[in-house]
Structure 1
Amino acid sequence: MIEARALTKRYGSKTAVDRVDFTVQPGKVTGFLGPNGAGKSTTMRMIVGLDKPTSGSVTVNGKRYAEHRSPLREVGVLLDAKAVHTGRSAYHHLLAQAATHGIAKRRVEEVIALTGLDKVARKRVGGFSLGMGQRLGIAAALLGDPKTLILDEPVNGLDPEGVTWVRMLVRSLAAEGRTVLLSSHLMSEMALTADHIIVLGRGQVLADAPVQDFIAGSGTATVRVRTPRPDLLAAALPGAPGTQLPDGAISLSGVTAEQIGEAAASAGVVLHELTPVSSSLEEAYMTLTQDEVEYRAGGVPASTQGGAR
């Protein structure tokens, strides 16, 4: 379990994390989301003792990270897969870490097999691809068979098979009762993996809820309708704003499919399609964080609009 209470980090006049409270529960995968500059990395660094809080506290399995006698057995961490000695082989990198905690060579071999590094384990890490480096980082996080895992962008650089493998791995670890905190910008993958979501924006918690509750609470669900008489349907539903879709259908918000069906029946309007469209995690996230983005790109350059001129 990870518990943060009034956790705050300031760098001079800038407040990176502002009195944050949350609990990451065991037995589920908790997604840790937020725009760039939201304070996610700073929070994760404070959890594992790399940054000292200005005020407040954060504990892992009931203690501050520095108070654990054998941290690798308590917390497995992947924050920067490139933070390795590039001249070492994957095997010796893991062996060196294992030696600091009295972890047997057998466990090194187990995590190498688990992460699919068998064929490259004796090769220098400096020649690894981004994906293989990520696998090595995950292997290091799993080395102590920890109760808690903190993984920052673990699927970065992985191929589709690797992405699926990470998804199945973290879900299986959570099913064993472990605590899993997973940070990623890939909303589609987070929707398939996470059970619970914590969203930061400008250093504060914007949401802390089960994924389905978070999506349902976004208020962006719509109903897709197709009818030969959209004018009559609009007259029957004056309070439901509609948007014309490119294929001729209409997207209605603020009204349920049942309400649309009953109104259409009363008005004698024929419906060719009536389909509720649920919000996605990405849509709910974008709705929540649209005013919290610190670094925002500009518009599309004019030279790219409508092709070259």
Structure 2
Amino acid sequence: MITAEGLGKRFGDKKAVDDVSFTVRPGMVTGFLGPNGAGKSTTMRMIVGLDKPTSGRVTVSGQEYRRLPAPLTEVGVLLDAKAVHTGRTARNHLRAMAATHGIPSSRVDEVIDLAGIGSVANKRAGKFSLGMGQRLGIAAALLGDPHTLILDEPVNGLDPEGVRWVRQFVRHAASEGRTVLLSSHLMSEMSQTADHVIVLGRGKVLADAPLDDLVRAWTSTTVRVRTPRAADLAAVVAGPATEIISTGPETFDVVGVPAARIGDLAAEHRIPLHELTPATGSLEEAYMALTGDAVEYKSKEIA
């Protein structure tokens, strides 16, 4: 379990993290989201002792990271896949890490196979592609078979097979009762992976909720309707809090009325229905609605 209590970090006059509190619980994948500059990476660095909090505290399994007797066996971390000795081979990089914690060399071979880097294990890490570097970073995070995983953009640079593997792996890790904190800007991938979501914006917690609850709270459900009497049914469904969007001669979308109510109205007025399909909003839509006012580095809109 990861627990942050009133966590804050200043860099000069800038508050990178401002009174952040949350709990990352075992047995689920917790997504860590936010725009660039939101404070995610700084928060992760404070969790593992790379940055010292200006205020508050953060613990892993009840202890500060720096007090853990064997950190690699407690917490697996991927913050910067490029943070390796470029002259070492992947195998020797992992062996050097293992030696600091008394981890047997057989475990090095296991994580090499697990991360799919067996064919390049004896090549220098400095020659690795972005994707291979990510796989080596993931292998390093798994080296101590830790109970807690903290992964910052682990699928960056991976091919579709690698992205799928990371998704399956973190979900399996959570199913084993491990604590998983996963940061990513890929909303479609996060929606398939995370159970719970913490969203930061300008250094503050904007949301801390189960993924499905977050999507429901920040998006609208649209119902796609198809009927040969579209105009008649649209007139019956219409109301002051209802939005009706015509999409064709026999189809329209409805926002503000649940599918069951539309079906009841169609039956009541003897209007045939050929399609009645509710579609909930996406995590991307919820994220954009939630963080719209918290984007520090905003691109110019393209006409």
1:258 has 2:260 as partner: yes
Question: Does the CA-based 8 Å contact 1:224-1:277 persist in structure 2?
Answer: yes
1:1-309 matches, within 5 Å, as 1-239=1-239, 240-245=242-247, 249-300=251-302
Distance 1:273 1:79, change over 3 A: same
- Percent identity of equivalent pairs: 66
Distance 2:261 2:156 in 1: 44
Question: Does the CA-based 8 Å contact 2:230-2:250 persist in structure 1?
Answer: no
Aligned letter for 2:152?
D
Question: Does the CA-based 8 Å contact 1:10-1:17 persist in structure 2?
Answer: yes
CA drift at 1:246: 6.7
Distance 1:222 1:32, change over 3 A: same
Distance 2:279 2:118 in 1: 45
Deviates more, 1:42-51 or 1:269-278: 269-278
Aligned letter for 1:258?
A
Aligned to 1:73, the other structure's residue is in SS state helix
Distance 2:234 2:9 in 1: 52
Question: Does the CA-based 8 Å contact 1:232-1:267 persist in structure 2?
Answer: no
Aligned to 1:307: none
Distance 1:32 1:235, change over 3 A: same
CA drift at 1:238: 2.8
CA-to-aligned-CA distance 1:57-104 (integer Å, 9 cap, x gap):
100111111111211111110001011111110011111111111211
CA drift at 1:267: 3.7
Aligned to 1:199, the other structure's residue is in SS state strand
Q: State how many pairs are aligned.
A: 301
> What is the Cα-based RMSD across aligned positions, in Å?
1.6
Distance 2:293 2:229 in 1: 38
Deviates more, 1:208-217 or 1:65-74: 208-217
CA-to-aligned-CA distance 1:267-307 (integer Å, 9 cap, x gap):
44443321111222222222222222111111227xxxxxx
CA drift at 1:44: 0.4
Distance 1:247 1:95, change over 3 A: farther
Q: TM-score w.r.t. structure 1 length?
A: 0.93
Distance 1:87 1:247, change over 3 A: farther
Distance 2:93 2:235 in 1: 69
Distance 1:121 1:223 in 2: 52
CA-to-aligned-CA distance 1:102-132 (integer Å, 9 cap, x gap):
2111111111111111111110111111111
Distance 2:118 2:199 in 1: 37
CA drift at 1:167: 1.1
Distance 1:26 1:120, change over 3 A: same
CA-to-aligned-CA distance 1:236-275 (integer Å, 9 cap, x gap):
1232111233786322111101111222333444433211
Aligned letter for 1:170?
V
Aligned to 1:245, the other structure's residue is in SS state strand
Aligned to 1:45, the other structure's residue is in SS state helix
Deviates more, 1:236-245 or 1:14-23: 236-245
CA drift at 1:55: 0.3
Aligned to 1:217, the other structure's residue is in SS state helix
Question: Does the CA-based 8 Å contact 2:229-2:250 persist in structure 1?
Answer: no
Distance 1:4 1:237, change over 3 A: same
Aligned to 2:81, the other structure's residue is in SS state coil
- Runs of 5+ consecutive residues of structure 2 not aligned to the other structure: none
- Runs of 5+ consecutive residues of structure 1 not aligned to the other structure: 302-309
CA drift at 1:228: 3.6
Question: Does the CA-based 8 Å contact 1:33-1:197 persist in structure 2?
Answer: yes
CA drift at 1:134: 0.5
Question: Does the CA-based 8 Å contact 1:220-1:284 persist in structure 2?
Answer: no
